[in-house]
Amino acid sequence: MVQLALALLISILCLIGVSRYLKLHPFFGLLLSATVFGLIMGQSGSEILNHMQNGFGNLLQQIGFLVAIGSCLGMVMEKTGAMTTVAHKIMGAFGASRSPFAMTLIGVLVGIPVFCDSGFIILSRLVPAIASASATPAQLSLALATGLYTTHTLVPPTPGPLAAAANLGMGANLAHVMLIGLFGTLPVAAVAFLLSKRIGLTIKVQRIESDTNHFPEQHAGLSFLPLVVPILLIAIGSLPALHNVALVKLISNPSIALLIGLLISLLLIRGAQKKEWPGWMTEALRDAGIILLITGAGGAFGTVIKSSGVDSVLNELISDTQAGGTMFLMMGWCLAAILKTAQGSSTSAIIITSSLLAPLTLAAGLTQPIDLAILILAIGGGAMTVSHANDSYFWVVSQFSGIRERDAYASFTLVTLAQGVTALITALALYYIL
């Protein structure tokens, strides 16, 4: 027991240390930590290597297509201007008086297929044109930033929650993860909206030029389809009456559903873009490759931990399933929050935490798909707690919104803390209710 606890502590500290102080990529940090853990537990070099290779390969087998296709879909949505069109239509539907709420909603929707960094860089150009007597630029920027951040950490097919689903064996139950993630999004986004509206009222921003013509306007209906269709297909596949229908089973597969969304998005390409879009795919796959390497390394680390018999030890410590589950959710949140705060990346924090906890879920009493989906919600909540100077998104929000650094700490960082705590409370409530 003591040896196991020591191995876990040293390996996690090693992971944080090499990321924070040596500035090593999380891929190498995870492999190094897995090696350290295995050596402390008395495993031979060949045993450690074998476990790492198996964990790496098995996880990529589950998630590789999803991350690659999802990344390409987000890139097409960004480059064709579909993302901007979605924003314009939502803003027009709610009007100037409700623009902070509309901005939050835009962030929530766009954050599902598109990285929050890219989404904010592009959509922040709309803020100066939208700002009015009823909404300041700071209110709109914070509402957009925190809305994007919400679904980026809570809802697949963004890489973090998607990788967590794979780590926890939820690849075949992705609809559960999406449903719980969307449900958790409601209170988290509501808190973000209310705090952004309140705090942003007192913040002055540096002048940022408006650029609403950077991307062409697209057909509104077609712009929404690549986002909506995959979600609907995955949801349909979870219906008991249709679950065994061959065609439904095929098109509701998350990889196929996302591929259909990608094919629909290609209809948005026009004019000179027809020559440019192959390059977009290359760029998207390059970004996906980095995510997959981190994900695979997380799987390698998780497999090494699992091989140590840690699940049986935890099973001896937790006798009450309900209490054990509650403790486990809080542990997942805390670990993700520590990793996020220490090394800055929400995606890495989610992947690493889910990898560490995957071998322990059975002992903690989290066996049902809905329970594991709630665990992913808790981990995602921890991974948004808190965004500060070591997070690239913090600087994207600060620089592109015109919010000064000290004000960004007092506003954006504070709101992300509140979002993370709200996600944990929601996860605990759902666990007891469901």
Q: Helix 346-357 to helix 321-343 angle, to the nearest 10 degrees?
A: 150
pLDDT digits (tens, 9 = 90+) for 96-154: 778 899 999 999 998 888 888 888 988 887 788 777 767 888 999 999 999 999 999 99
pLDDT digits (tens, 9 = 90+) for 170-213: 877 888 999 999 999 999 999 999 999 999 988 888 765 554 44
CB 397, CB 186: distance < 8 Å: no
Nearest Cα neighbor of 337 from 418, 270, 268, 420 is 420
pLDDT at 62: 73
Q: Helix 346-357 to helix 273-306 angle, to the nearest 10 degrees?
A: 30
CB half-sphere exposure, 211, CA atoms < 13 A: 13
Cα-based angle 321, 322, 324 (whole degrees, multiple of 5): 60
Q: What is the SS3 string spanning 355-368?
A: HHHHHHCCCCCCCC
What range defines the domain where residue 103 resides?
A: 2-433
From CA 115, how far away is CA 279, in angstroms rounded? 18
pLDDT at 13: 83
Q: How many CB atoms lie within 10 A of CB 360?
A: 22
pLDDT digits (tens, 9 = 90+) for 59-96: 788 778 888 888 898 889 888 888 888 888 888 888 77
From CA 358, how far away is CA 354, in angstroms rounded? 6
Domain count of the fold of the chain? 1
pLDDT digits (tens, 9 = 90+) for 5-63: 788 788 878 877 887 777 777 788 888 988 998 898 888 889 999 989 988 888 788 77
pLDDT digits (tens, 9 = 90+) for 381-434: 999 988 887 788 898 898 888 898 889 989 999 999 999 999 999 999 999 998
Q: Helix 116-123 to helix 45-79 angle, to the nearest 10 degrees?
A: 20
Q: Residue range 357-367: average pLDDT?
A: 82
Any idea which residue has 């979605």 for tokens? 86
Instruction: Spell 309-339 as b/e; 16+ CB within 10 A means b.
Output: ebbeebeeebeeeeebbbebbebbbebbbbb
Residue 205 has which token pair?
A: 């921003």
CB 72, CB 287: distance < 8 Å: no
Strand spans (E) along 181-246:
none
Phi, psi at 294, each rounded to 5°? -65, -45
